[in-house]
Structure 1
Amino acid sequence: MISIGDIYDKDINFLFGSGASYGLLPTLRLGITREAGGDSCTLEELATQFEKEKDSRLIPLFMHYYASCIRPAEVLSIAATAATEEGRQVIENYRIFLSTVLAMLQRRKPLDRRCNIFTTNYDGCFPLAADEILQRGHIDFVLNDGTRGFSKRILQARNFSTFLCETGVFGRHQSSIPQINLIHLHGSVYWSKSDGGIHVEYNASEHQPLLSAADLLRLQPFSETLESAEAVLDGLEDPGFTPEELTEFWTRYEQIPIVNPTKWKFHETVYEEHYYQMLRLLSYELEKPNAVLITFGFSFADEHILNLVMRSLSNPGLQVFVCCFNQADQEALSDKFKGHRNVRCLALDEGFLDFTAFNKKVLAWPSTTRAVALGAAQEATAAPLTPDASAPAENMA
């Protein structure tokens, strides 16, 4: 359990990974294994292996990634999320989380109502959930995506340092409107290059798909094998696209402003400068005297971010809470952060720490105030969290 009363007045940062959007969009974990009975592979692992070995299945692997993750993110909408119970629950989880954060910010000093959400996701779940909250009209706030402009919104790193302030009629008092900075570390499907800058347009559903219906049909057996827990890597057959078809897809795919899930992430995109600026921003925030970092749905497979967080742990004022999906993940991450007394790896005693459990049992107001803070009818019941057995309770690392 993370005590909101202990952290609400600190410099709070969140780091979200693909686990937060699971149910709408897949994670990087596949079903296929390298050998029968082995652990399932991740897309990152296979992409790195295929690239190193010059395997002909590399581009088809990214075709699968585009079809299963990127294109669905481009066409994401409230109507699309409402089509399934899982989709509705995902957006509701985002809404509850944002409402909790805003309630925390409301308790802070009048000119200090800001926090940062860093995310490696490409999707628009945060903007969709924020729109829902704003439309209900219960609270005024700013979701700052770093853009400025009217007909054309341009992303610039310096915009994350600004905030909106309101004053009384005669200027005798002022306070900042609660603000959440939304910082995409791996890019977004809503970005495009424009005159040397980054243009943000949330109507990405109008983008022409890179794969036709016929392409998807040919790719289907390949994708089904990747997702099958019964499949092994030797049985993954090349879908048989021609070299010309692969080249055409890859040329267009490289124009998408995202960081690919491979070990050579920062070597293939014109958006490299902005990515490094955002990493520097994360590093700067974690060096503040009372910094807090809460991670969710993030495995720390990204070596750039892992190394950055590791370096920041020398800051004695930094507190890091790593939310682990299950106890196996907790053991692995506890070992990764072994020796750092300012890291706590959290997992539930029973069950999985998914987004719903995170909202109810980890980052939740006491039951007496939760309904008021979030406008929710149900109470949040806290379940015990399992600390790392190798560390004291106050140092789950």
Structure 2
Amino acid sequence: MGLQPRQLLPVLLRLLKETDDETALARASVQGYFFDRVLLPNLRLLDAKNDASAQRLIKSYGRFVGALNRILLKRRSTLLGKQVNLFTTNIDMAFEHALELLEIDTNDGFAGKIRPRLDLGEYSTLRFRQGARFEYRSEIPTFNLFKIHGSAGWQRDGEEIYFDHRLDVIRAVQTSYEAAKATLLQINEPTDVDAFMLGFSATGKALDQAGLEFAEAYKDLQIVNPEKTKFASTVLNKTYYELIRRFANELEKENSALLAHGFSFRDEHLLDLVLRAAATNPTLQVIVFCYSREAHQEISALFPSEKVKNGNVLFVRPAEPKEGAEERKLSLDVVVEDFLEQVLEDEAPPADHIIELRLGGADDA
């Protein structure tokens, strides 16, 4: 759950260059693997009470957004806004479940109650609470959730995108996937993809009717696929570029801070945006939490010093483990525990004045 197997990207790029039957089978097989590993687990989130792994995932995300919410609550000055922007390339519904569980006010871009429709103007909404007696107003923390690559919970109807509460699109594609599963090439791990790519051309197989129906049903998913022809529809294309524009605008604001976690920066478009913003906005601070020391080497190589002239991109990596110990990888829980929750620890401020009180009886007067 929450898995984004970007290892499939090079394979899909090669597949797009071919149009024969065997290539169509291979491409549908990769899409089947992606659907099975990334999209289907979202159904378990709907029944998280009976799924231990779903509970752990929501708890982890809940701890993260809860810490951010408490940080915003510490902002007593009206000059400081109480909004946080969450830009995610994940298409799962973990953020939505965690935010709702904690009853945190959220702008996810959807307007309406009965059939919420995607309206990006919702992101400009501020939330206030007003006292019943004295009518004082105070801004409350609000989370803006931007699903840059679409979502498992998006459903297209004509030229509009609606929120799919019951994940009906996922269920419909699941029916087609189960019918075609036996004829798709089996992939157990992302590393298996190259192995079968070397040999699939000798199989002489092609997509049968069930496979063709799955490939067609897969197009109904409103997600940006890990491939060069990313978009399932013009509507998603337009939405994607609007969300990217919002991301770029936030990076250009004075004294902005971008905290990145769980992102490899292999998406060239997003990488270019961050590099350009870091170069043109010296007040921007980018902090990248690298999951492992190995990941740090890979990600930092994408930020050469000649492109980061302002020195405003910092990398946080796990400390070198002691002999015989395992590396303390920077999972989401570790980032919250070691960094965010440290911000919330209140230190006793030094006294500005000392008042001495002498208490005594009548004889001391």
TM over 0.5: yes
Letter in structure 1 aligned against 2:227:
T
Contact 1:226/1:236, CA 8 A, preserved across alignment = no
Superposed counterparts of 1:72-83, under 5 Å:
72-73=41-42, 75-77=43-45, 79-80=47-48, 83=51
Superposed counterparts of 1:128-143, under 5 Å:
128-134=97-103, 141-143=104-106
Counterpart residue number, 1:144: 107
Counterpart residue number, 1:365: 342
1:280 aligns with 2:269: no
Superposed counterparts of 1:210-359, under 5 Å:
210-219=175-184, 222-224=186-188, 226=190, 228=192, 231=195, 233-235=197-199, 240=205, 242-266=207-231, 269-313=234-278, 314-339=280-305, 340=308, 341-349=311-319, 350=321, 351=327, 352-359=329-336
Distance 1:218 1:146 in 2: 39
Contact 1:93/1:359, CA 8 A, preserved across alignment = no
Contact 2:128/2:137, CA 8 A, preserved across alignment = yes
1:98 aligns with 2:65: yes
Distance 2:247 2:339 in 1: 23
User: Could you tell me how far 1:127 is from its partner in structure 2?
Assistant: 1.4
Contact 1:76/1:205, CA 8 A, preserved across alignment = no
Contact 1:122/1:187, CA 8 A, preserved across alignment = yes
Counterpart residue number, 1:199: 162
1:166 aligns with 2:129: yes
Contact 2:105/2:143, CA 8 A, preserved across alignment = yes
| Structure showing the higher helix proportion among its residues | 2
Counterpart residue number, 2:96: 127
Counterpart residue number, 1:45: 10
Contact 1:210/1:252, CA 8 A, preserved across alignment = no
Gaps of 5+ in 1: 1-23, 30-41, 135-140, 371-397
Secondary structure at the residue paired with 2:71?
Answer: helix
Distance 2:200 2:38 in 1: 20
Deviations 1:245-283 (A, max 9, x none): 443222221121111111232585431111111111001
Higher RCO, Cα 8 Å, sep 6+: 1
Secondary structure at the residue paired with 1:336?
Answer: coil
Alpha carbons of structure 1 residues 211 and 251: separation in structure 2 relative to 1, 3 Å: closer
Deviations 1:48-90 (A, max 9, x none): 12212443411221122112212222x1325347523x44332
Contact 1:190/1:204, CA 8 A, preserved across alignment = yes
Alpha carbons of structure 1 residues 304 and 239: separation in structure 2 relative to 1, 3 Å: farther
Distance 2:134 2:206 in 1: 66
Contact 2:11/2:194, CA 8 A, preserved across alignment = no
Contact 2:63/2:333, CA 8 A, preserved across alignment = no
User: Could you tell me how far 1:92 is from its partner in structure 2?
Assistant: 1.4
The partner residue of 2:29 within 55, 60, 74 is 60
Distance 2:155 2:66 in 1: 30
Q: Percent identity?
A: 27
Counterpart residue number, 1:20: none
TM-score by length of 2: 0.80
Distance 1:332 1:235 in 2: 30
Distance 1:153 1:319 in 2: 35
Deviations 1:87-137 (A, max 9, x none): 433221101101100001102234721110011111110111122223xxx
Distance 2:12 2:222 in 1: 18
Alpha carbons of structure 1 residues 368 and 117: separation in structure 2 relative to 1, 3 Å: closer
Counterpart residue number, 2:360: none
User: Could you tell me how far 1:348 is from its partner in structure 2?
Assistant: 0.3
Secondary structure at the residue paired with 2:215?
Answer: helix
Secondary structure at the residue paired with 1:364?
Answer: helix
Which shifted more, 89-98 or 280-289?
89-98
Contact 2:183/2:211, CA 8 A, preserved across alignment = no
Which of these two proteins has the greater Rg computed from alpha carbons? Answer: 2
Letter in structure 2 aligned against 1:95:
G
Contact 2:4/2:90, CA 8 A, preserved across alignment = no
Counterpart residue number, 1:115: 84
Contact 2:160/2:235, CA 8 A, preserved across alignment = no
Kindly tell me the number of residue pairs found equivalent between the two proteins.
Answer: 326
The partner residue of 1:156 within 86, 102, 119 is 119
Which shifted more, 305-314 or 221-230?
221-230
Distance 1:282 1:172 in 2: 35
Alpha carbons of structure 1 residues 250 and 215: separation in structure 2 relative to 1, 3 Å: closer
Alpha carbons of structure 1 residues 241 and 224: separation in structure 2 relative to 1, 3 Å: farther
Which shifted more, 59-68 or 235-244?
235-244
Q: Provide the aligned C-alpha RMSD in A.
A: 2.7
Letter in structure 2 aligned against 1:90:
L
Distance 2:188 2:298 in 1: 29
Gaps of 5+ in 2: 322-326, 348-365
Deviations 1:202-255 (A, max 9, x none): 211573224353433444x61226555995742568694535444322222112
Distance 2:205 2:49 in 1: 33
Distance 1:249 1:147 in 2: 29
User: Could you tell me how far 1:337 is from its partner in structure 2?
Assistant: 1.2
Contact 2:62/2:102, CA 8 A, preserved across alignment = yes
Alpha carbons of structure 1 residues 199 and 168: separation in structure 2 relative to 1, 3 Å: same
